[in-house]
Amino acid sequence: MHWTEYLNPLMQGAWLTVQLTLYSTILGAVLAFAAGIGKTSHNRIVKAIAVTYIEVFRGTSLLVQLFWLYFALPILGQTVGLDLRLPPVVAGVLALALNIGAYGAEVVRGAIQAVSKDQYEAAKALNFTRRQTLWSVALPQAIPEMMPSFGNLAVQNLKDTALVSLISLGDLAFRAEQLRNFTQDSTTIYTMVLFMYFGMALVVTALMKTLERYVGRWRSARG
């Protein structure tokens, strides 16, 4: 087979990879903010939930998490009488998001705590509530600081999507393995796939850089 014949199936896989990356990064960001803010909460229960989530998902392996959600959770569901069988795509997005969200949460927490004490004092002097201080003072300053780390995490997440091929989702890695089985042309296929992932990573990096400029545009105002 000529290498151009691999393009079509690989592109199909790449499209699923893009979708998985997009959904799990967005869901992961939501989780990251929820847990990162939760960890700074004064409410002990909220804080305990956030800390537990972060520690469990940072302390174990993504592939273990993915397999647990896909293979073990349904059995847990059986024993309590619930149908917890997840379609592969749901298990995949969920595992990726939960994992990247736990790492992102530490980024969010760190950036919030790095906002200077002066800013919190100014907010207090204006009688802002804790919530108003968080949303209008701390987060808008913290978010631009988070962006470089979020950029790295988004690329990490793109790479991690390859693991969902192991629960038989037809992403780029899965298509590559299928083609290899069929043609035995490992060198060509995997070289192409590596370059495709590299290209997607460059796009993700560029998008995150654009987003970084957007959320920090107040910093570059001139005049």
Binding site for another protein (CB under 8 A): 55-56, 58-65, 67-68, 71-73, 75-76, 79, 118-119, 121-122, 124-129, 132, 136-137, 140-141, 155, 159-163, 165-166, 173, 176-177, 180, 186-187, 190-191, 193-194, 197-198, 201-202, 205, 218-219, 221-223
Rounded to a whole number of angstroms, the minimum distance from the CB of residue 121 to another protein is 5
Query: Which residue, 8 or 71, is less far from another protein as judged by CB?
Result: 71
Contacts of 23 (CB under 8 A, 6+ apart): 93, 97
Alpha helices in 72-171 (DSSP H): 73-80, 88-114, 117-125, 130-132, 139-160
Distance CA(68)–CA(164), nearest Å, equals 13
> 37 or 102, CB closer to another protein?
102
Neighbours of 198 (CB within 10 A): 10
68 or 89: CB nearest another protein = 68
* Distance (Å, whole) CA 204 – CA 107: 19
DSSP for residue 176: H
Minimum CB separation from another protein for residue 31, in Å? 18
At closest approach, how far in Å is the CB of 198 from another protein?
Answer: 5
Residue with tokens 């192991």: 166
CA dist 178 and 140 (Å) reads 46
**Angle 155-202-1 from CA coordinates, rounded to 5°:** 100
The three-point CA angle 112-115-119 to 5° equals 125
Q: How far is the CB of 215 from another protein (least distance, A)?
A: 10
Residue 118 Cβ vs another protein, minimum distance, rounded to whole Å: 5
> Smaller CB distance to another protein: residue 90 or 194?
194
Sign of the torsion formed by the C-alpha atoms of 161, 163, 164 and 168: positive
Task: Pick the closer one to another protein by CB: 30 or 72.
Answer: 72
In the complex, minimum distance from the CB of residue 43 to another protein, in angstroms, rounded to a whole number: 13
